[in-house]
Structure 1
Amino acid sequence: MRRLLLTLAVTCSATTTSANCGGKFDPFVSVLKQDARNLGYKETLLNNFFDQVSQDQKVLKADRNQGVFQKDFIAFSNALISQNRLTHAARNAAKYALAFQKVEQKFGIPPGVLLAFWAFETDFGANQGNFNTLNSLVTLAHDCRRPDLFRPQIFAALELFKRGEFDPVLTQGAWAGEIGMIQMLPEDILESGTDGDDDRQVDLQNSAPDALMSGGHMLNRLGWQANAPWLQEIELPANLDWSMTGLDKAYPVARWKSFGITARNGALHDTAGEASVLLPVGHKGPAFLAYPNFSVYFEWNQSLTYVTTAAYFATLLTGEPVYDARIPDQGLDGTQMKDLQRKLVGRGHDVGKVDGILGSKTRAAVQAEQSRLGLPSDAWPTPELLNRI
């Protein structure tokens, strides 16, 4: 489920040769091997690494079947946050209390944040995936949808293989190449893999302390600020200027307070710098203040719905109450959303891919059209907006 925005590792940042993606599969693999030779890897190692790799059509099918992200925040959070996950989160928090304490002391990551990822990614290690990792990575790098995302992961896996920490035949994980209890890509493992149980190994598939320490290291490396908030449910005044809302706009917390925004539970974090008002399903639904740490979630996953749900679940696991769902305006189904996206494109907006997913570009376009039409500009598309464009 995770989709990292990646920075290439130093060991894996070679300029590729001719075919970056597409074409016949075997010649593509030959190009990969040549790139690896250019990096200095020995022929025997390359043969052992690449010789059994094959294209996996199930990976491509999974990559194109991500309709779950068309769900809105309320539907998505209700689907992912179950009583079973809450119960197991509490049990694992107690079972690995020492590991969580070490992570927080060393990297500043609260237990709830990692517990939420651990729950959503693999149900606390129970469902780590059964796709051959190398086949997944090479298949997705060969596919021309996102080769720049997956191609570097092949060379990261090769480096792990050289170190004896990856098996091209036996290593399994998610369809998108992530490995272990909290699903880390090979490049992340190279950069953030950390021994959490002091056995001088990094085993992300079988050692919860290793997985938690490595996940904490990665979040810290991506910019997480220790002892700082990430998401907080808020109460909104009825007269708020909705055009000021959205993750692309941030203002000092003191300014939001001056507009009459209050915390639903406790107090706003005055010292947290700037924050954004996030309305996942419009101004009539639950509302949140997104603090700077919230942006780190997008380095883990690019879906706003997933990110908001994971961040919210983390607040639940730290003792915050269940959000007030209220009664948001009716949204659009997937077909209607695609229709809206096509109309927005017709009006000159860049919505990215017409995929029925309410992403950041579509939200910005919706907000602009709402302002033009005199509707509440909360970036939440409704049937009324669809009919009026």
Structure 2
Amino acid sequence: MRQTILPILISLALTGTAAAQCGGSFSSFVSGLKAEAQAKGHSKATVDAFFRTAAQDSRTLRADRAQGVFKMPFTEFARRVISQNRMDNGRRNAERFDAVFDQAEARFGVQRGVLLALWALETDYGAVQGDFNTLNSLVTLAHDCRRPELFRPQVFAALELYEAGDFDPARTTGAWAGEIGMVQMLPEDILTKGIDGDGDGHVYLKTSAPDALLSGSNMLSGLGWRKGEPWLQEVSVPDTLNWAETGLTHRKSGRDWARMGVTPRWGEIQSGLKAALILPQGRKGPAFLAYPNFDVFFEWNQSFVYVTTAAYFATRLSGAPVFDAGAPEPGLNDAQMKQLQTRLQARGHDVGKIDGILGARTRAAVQAEQQRLGLPADAWPTAALLSKL
């Protein structure tokens, strides 16, 4: 389920080496990988054995191009993925691995609800980890010239895992983008953040829940998780709020939001913490205060709807009630969203790729145009806005 842009150690600049060594003949590309691996100090026998079964995977490329699930609005996506069965299994797993969750919180400050939510959404608590051959997916995506700077290093990280006895080139499987295990981590993440939670001398994220949960906690900690702090809180907002002050780029103290009439639906507003007021479906839909830890979810996945759902699910697993869906105005369909992005781009806004996905940059552009046109600036695109543009 995770989006293409994946967590940790992602270089934003395409290196000259990676740019020069993607595309072309696949067999020649693999030969180049093998030569580079030997230049890094790996033996020829090890390199030959590691790459022996490597093959291009067209299914990986098709999955990379098809991520329509992130075009759903928040309420629809959340209702689809947060089932009663996942809630019940979350409670059972919280009890079963109680000591592991206690250890994760003591060592890394990551609350169990957060780990349970990611575990559930990534692999349904380990039940659905993906059937893509990991090496083939990584080599295929490294060969594809869209993001070689991300995937090429993962191939060599997998080689190091292979040398440690923690990776089988022919049999290790996972998600289409190369993530492995119950919480879906890339090989480089496993190398740098993997923890042997069950004491067997290996980091097996596919079969060991203690390994997966502690490794995931370590990774979140490394991404900036703030120990013991909240991440998301559902709130009610007054109709008179200045909507232009909402969104991830506008942050105020919890005390200031309370003074503006924002009230919690669960728990207490953290008056001393900065928070953004986010409206996933505009001023008439659900509303949340997003605290600094919310940003860490974007290091895990860059889809706004996924991140908001995961963070909200974590609050549900921590005791929060079902969100108040409200009565949001109808959004745009895929064709309309692409038309909107095209018009926003024509007005000089950076919306990224014209993909029909209401991401952070498109939301910011929508809010700016709503302000310019005198509409409620809640960053939720409607047919009325599209018409005015």
Structure 1 length-normalised TM = 0.96
Q: Distance in 1 between matches of 2:162 and 2:84?
A: 39
Deviation per residue, 1:42-62 (Å, 9 max, x gap): 211111111221100000111
Partner Cα distance (1:161, 1:186) in 2: 10
What's the % identity of the aligned pairs? 58
Shift of 1:199: 2.1
Paired letter, 1:6? I
Question: Which residue identity is paired with 2:372?
Answer: R
Question: Would you say the 8 A contact 1:118–1:181 is kept in 2?
Answer: yes
| Partner Cα separation in structure 2 for residue 5 and residue 218 of structure 1 | 9
Counterpart Cα distance in 2 of 1:337 and 1:18: 32
Residues 271-325 of structure 1: CA deviation (Å, up to 9, x unaligned)? 3x21101110001100000000000001100101000000000000000111100
Offset at residue 20 of structure 1 (A): 3.2
The number of equivalent residue pairs is 385
What is the deviation of 1:32?
1.6
Classify the secondary structure of the residue corresponding to 2:31: helix
* CA deviation vs aligned residue, 1:14-40 (integer Å, no higher than 9, x gap): 973673322221111122222222222
Instruction: Give the drift of 1:6.
Output: 3.0
Structure 2 Cα separation of the partners of residues 8 and 327 of structure 1: 39
Q: Distance in 2 between matches of 1:236 and 1:106?
A: 36
In structure 2, the residue corresponding to 1:270 is in which secondary structure?
Answer: coil
Please name the residue that 2:218 is paired with.
Answer: 217
Residue 189 of structure 2: SS of its match in structure 1?
A: helix
Identify the residue that residue 9 of structure 2 maps to in structure 1: 7
2:250 paired with 1:249? yes
Check the 8 A contact 2:233/2:289 in 1, yes or no: yes
Q: What SS does the corresponding residue of 1:285 show, helix, strand or coil?
A: coil
Structure 2 residue ranges without an equivalent (≥5): none
- Please give the alpha-carbon distance, in whole angstroms, between the structure 2 residues aligned to 1:356 and 1:205: 34
Which residue of 2 is the match for residue 372 of structure 1?
Answer: 372
CA displacement 1:183-212 (0-9 Å, x = unmatched): 111011001111112222211111111111
1:285 counterpart letter in structure 2: G
For 2:7 and 2:110, the matched residues in 1 are separated by 20
CA displacement at 1:382 relative to structure 2 = 0.3
Q: Is the 8 A contact 2:10 2:150 kept in 1?
A: no
Deviations, residues 144-203 of structure 1 (Å, cap 9, x unaligned): 222222111111111111212111111111111111111111011001111112222211
1:40 is aligned to: 41
Indicate the residue corresponding to 2:30 in structure 1.
29
- Kept in 2: contact 1:203–1:210 (CA 8 A): yes
User: Residues of 1 paired with 2:195 and 2:267: CA distance?
Assistant: 35
- Equivalences for residues 115-194 of structure 1 within 5 A: 115-194=116-195
Superposition map of 1:1-389 within 5 A: 1-2=1-2, 3-7=5-9, 16=17, 19-271=20-272, 273-389=273-389
Cα distance in 1 for residues equivalent to 2:167 and 2:183? 17
Deviates more, 1:299-308 or 1:248-257: 248-257
Letter of the 1:4 partner, please give it.
L
Judge conservation of contact 1:284–1:326 (CA < 8 Å) in 2.
yes
**Does the 8 Å contact 1:6/1:149 carry over to 2?**
no
**2: distance between equivalents of 1:259 and 1:243?**
13
What is the one-letter code of the residue matched to 1:103? A
Q: 1:18 to 1:364 in 2, by over 3 A?
A: closer
Where 1:289 maps in the other structure, the secondary structure is: strand
Cα distance change of structure 1 residues 15 and 50 upon mapping to structure 2, 3 Å threshold: farther
Opposite residue 67 of structure 1, the aligned amino acid is G
Amino acid corresponding to residue 9 of structure 2 in structure 1:
T
Cα drift, residue 345 of structure 1: 1.3
Given that residues 180 and 206 in structure 2 are in contact (C-alpha distance below 8 angstroms), is that contact kept between their aligned partners in structure 1?
Answer: yes
CA shift, 1:99, in A, is 1.1
* 3-state secondary structure, aligned to 1:145: coil
CA distance in 2, matches of 1:289, 1:14: 38
CA contact (8 A) 1:8 1:152 kept: no
